[in-house]
Amino acid sequence: MLVALFHKLPRMPNVMMRRFLLIPVLLFNLVAISVFAISALALTFSGSVQAQARAIDDSVLTAPNAEITSAELRAAYLSNVPQYVVWPNESVRQQLTIGVLGNEAVYNQLISSPILPVRGLRIDVELLTRPSMASDVDILYIAPGASHQLNSAFNATRSRPILVVSEHSPVREEMMINLVSGAENRLAFQVNNERIQDSGLRSTLDLLTLRGNELELAVYARRAYQRLAELQTEYTELEDALTATQEENSQLLNRIQILEQTIRERDNVLRAQQGTLEDREQVMESQQSALRDLLTELDQQRQQILLREEQLRQIQQTLRQSESLLAAQQQELNEKEEQLRQKQVDSDELAERITANRNVLAVQQQQLRDQRNALDEQMALLESRERTIDRQRLYLWAIGAAFLIALILAFTTVVMFLNKRKTAGKLMFALDELHEAQDKLVESEKMAALGNLVAGVAHEVNTPLGVAITGTSMVNDRITVLKENLGQGNLTREQLSNFLERSSESLSLTQKNLSRVGALISNFKQIAVDQMVAEQREIDLGGYLEEVMSTLSIELRRAGIRYEIDIPKEIRMITIPGAMAQIITNLVTNSIRHAFTEPGGMLHLEAESVEGNQVRLQFSDNGAGMNNATLTQVFDPFFTTKRNEGGTGLGMSIVYNLVRQKLRGDISVKSELGKGTTFILRLPKNL
């Protein structure tokens, strides 16, 4: 259009008109250059927008599969705990506050994505720097980095409705919820319901189900909410940038329209001018050439503007695709929330069963407390006997010194013959007291071993008894429900079939655990009777040692020690089982105390028949071993390498006396430092 206008221009009369015409041409060049620069910026911006959109799509698709960090696990647990705990004054409150002490990473995770309201209450998060700030929060998380401030935090929250979530807390009485890190980045926890109720809070049994896959789903939900918020923010920024670009395009079009209007006005002015000079034609031709160039450049700018609009349409299409992806993720979140609600319904049923068994567990706890009191009394009795042994030890040293002095006097003087006979009588009396003290020490060791048996068997019996009681209570609950349905006439074949199937499973589980309890008690009774009665009877050596080691298994598991028994079935002996059990108990106790400094040890028992109608029994460990000085004194009375740690030095001396005197056999020991220790016993098959 501009080219046509310039073809219609009249010829300029003079040079002044040519100069006047150069002004709009220069203005038009300026505008064209500005349009070109803005178009280049718009193309750069559209490329960055497309790259951001692709990055957003990739992050949304790959974020749920990223590895879960420990901070994310703890943040997910803290953000979900308010759903299962009720505060006493919620009706007059508008928000709950989570306080984080000692772990800024967990605080950053909590504030990185929005936390949904719970029962209409808004959830806020605060980072605490000292325990005194804990009085203003409702949930206090104490990280391992702030473990030295546990007591101060407990004092600040005592008698307040504040839920304290600690980690690796050694204070069991003050602990409410204690988090424990497990294998494969899993999170376990311990809950003290009594402490929670004492603080005025009320927790639901669903709190026990917040672990494992449910906690990982909560982490994925938090990630999705965080990505949703980021996508909404980026979407808003992209819309603002698109609006700004459209406004700039509108301004450029307005400028082009103004320039066209100015050219039309100039054309009207030039139409009014008349002239026939040749120089005007030359100027007009040069100006027409310049205008043609400008028009060509203007057409190129228009093409670039059209291309930019096409790119903007692509950006809008990308944004619509992002919105559809967000809608799909929101649908997936809704499905996961439905799964969580279904699991919550299942946990409610489990809670009802747990409530029904609570009274039974309370009775069991009372029985355990009674057993603990009995064990404490036995421990007090053992301590008093140890003190008696210490006093008798002093007496023995005094008697030995007196005996030495008496010998010196006997060899140096003959005149005091009568005094010598008197001294000999005293020494005989002292020797009798020494034998009596030795018998008492042996009896004390037997009682200590029996105490270990009682503790181990009580621990082993409690677990199967609890399972049996739980299975029985579940059967009773199902019978009650079955009776109600039968009375109402709503009993169906499917309900009856489910009742019979589940009851059969529960009764089978109960029978297995009660059989296990019966076997444990039978073994315990036999071993206890053998240790208290020194009578001979025929035993299957391998089976009997299995029973003895089973009574000691709790102590071995506590020390992290395994054992193996390699004894043929055909080895039978007529011996004193009580002495045999005492020997094996003392050898195992000696290995636990002296051979192993850390878990992972191994004990090995093997036996074989040898000539002379004897049995060769070998007890070995792969522990620290002994040096030559210790090896030569291992069977000496009162010799111990753990005297400052409660050792008496009588265990191996008792083993030696039992083997040599009661079982009429022989015992030897082999050991090297770092290669373990082996005790070899040669015992007669028929005592």
Q: What is the pLDDT of residues 637-673, one digit of tens each?
A: 778 887 666 566 778 888 998 899 889 999 999 999 9
Predicted confidence band at 425 (pLDDT cuts at 50, 70, 90)? low
Contact residues for 48 (Cβ-Cβ < 8 A; gap 6+): none
Alpha carbon distance 178, 503 (integer Å):
36
Res 614: pLDDT: 94
Q: What is the largest CA-CA distance in the chain?
A: 174
Q: Provide the token pair at 386.
A: 């140890």
Considering Cα of 458, then 462, then 464, then 468, what sign does the dihedral take? positive
pLDDT tens, residue by residue, 183-209: 556 677 788 888 888 888 888 877 777
Nearest to 648 by CA among 579, 573, 605, 593: 593
For the chain, state the CA radius of gyration.
Answer: 46
Query: Domain limits of the chain?
Result: 2-56+224-355, 88-200, 362-525, 533-684
Phi, psi for 539 (deg, rounded to 5): -130, 155
User: Is 662 in contact with 579 (CB distance < 8 Å)?
Assistant: yes
pLDDT at 684: 94
Residue 26, exposed/middle/buried by CB under 10 A (0-12, 13-18, 19+)? exposed
Cβ density class 214-242: b for 16+ within 10 Å, e for less = bbbbbbbbbbbbebbebbeebbeebeebb
Mean pLDDT of 270-293: 72
CA gap 175, 154 in Å, rounded: 9
Confidence of residue 454 (pLDDT cuts 50, 70, 90): low
pLDDT reading at 12 higher than 70: no
Residue 54's CB is within 10 A of a number of other CB atoms, namely 11
Nearest to 187 by CA among 81, 29, 268, 332: 81
Per-residue pLDDT at 469: 76
Q: Phi first, then psi: give them for residue 174, nearest 5 degrees.
A: -85, -15
Yes or no: say if 131 and 156 are a contact pair by the CB < 8 Å rule. yes
Q: How confident is the model at residue 279 (pLDDT cuts 50, 70, 90)?
A: low
DSSP bridge pairs for 340: none
Whether the model pTM is above 0.85: no
Q: Which of 686, 529, 549, 538 is nearest to 615 (CA)?
A: 686
- 480 SS3 class: helix
The whole-angstrom separation of Cα 272 and Cα 285 is: 19
Residue type for position 353: R
Which of 137, 133, 153 is CA-nearest to residue 145?
153
Which of 302-316, 353-367, 437-451, 581-595 has the lowest average pLDDT? 437-451
Q: Residue 436: what pLDDT?
A: 64
Average pLDDT of every residue of the chain = 76
Highest mean pLDDT among 205-209, 425-429, 631-635: 631-635
pLDDT of residue 520: 60
The closest alpha carbon to 531, from 586, 459, 472, belongs to 586
Residue 519 above 70 pLDDT? Answer: no
Res 677: pLDDT: 95
The 10s digit of each residue's pLDDT in 216-235 is: 777 777 777 777 777 778 77
pLDDT of res. 278: 63
The residues, any chain, with a CB within 8 Å of residue 563's CB and separated by 6 or more, are 549, 556, 602, 603, 604, 605
CA 350 – CA 510 distance, rounded (Å): 18
For residues 403 and 408, what is the distance between their CA atoms, to the nearest angstrom? 9
DSSP-derived letter for residue 569 is: T
For the ranges 395-399, 445-449, 504-508, the lowest mean pLDDT is seen at: 445-449
Give yes or no for residue 523 having a pLDDT over 60.
Answer: no
Residue positions counted in the chain? 687
Domain 88-200: give its CATH architecture.
Answer: 3-Layer(aba) Sandwich (3.40)
The whole-number average pLDDT for the span 138-145 is 86
> Which of 122-136, 326-340, 341-355, 535-549 is least confident?
341-355
pLDDT score at 452: 54
Element (H, E) at 233: helix 213-272
Query: Of 477, 539, 483, nearest to 503 (Cα)?
Result: 477
What's at 554, amino acid-wise? Answer: I
Question: Which value, to the nearest 10 degrees, does the dihedral of the CA atoms of residues 397, 400, 402, 406 take?
Answer: -170
State the amino acid at position 2 in one-letter form: L
Beta strands at 572-575 and 601-610: parallel, antiparallel or unpaired: unpaired
| 3 state DSSP class of 638 | coil
pLDDT of residue 433: 65
Tell me how far apart the alpha carbons of residues 6 and 287 are, in angstroms, rounded to a whole number: 8
Q: What are the backbone dihedrals phi and psi of residue 239, each rounded to the nearest 5 degrees, phi first?
A: -65, -40
- Residue 3: count other Cβ atoms within 10 Å of its Cβ: 12
What percentage of the chain has pLDDT greater than the value 70?
74
CB 555 within 8 A of CB 587: no
List, in sequence order, every beta strand (DSSP E) within 3-116.
85-86, 95-101
The bridge status of strand 601-610 relative to strand 561-566 is parallel
CA 451 to chain centroid, in Å, comes to 34
pLDDT of residue 236: 82
Helix (H) or strand (E) holding 234: helix 213-272
Quote the CA–CA distance of 655 and 465 in Å, as a whole number.
36
Q: What pLDDT band is residue 241 in, cutting at 50, 70 and 90?
A: confident
- Three-state secondary-structure class, residue 679: strand
Which residues does residue 127 pair with via DSSP β-bridges, in sequence order? 100
Assigned token pair, 396 = 């023995």
Q: Are 203 and 84 spatial neighbours (Cβ–Cβ below 8 Å)?
A: yes
Which class would CATH give 533-684? alpha beta
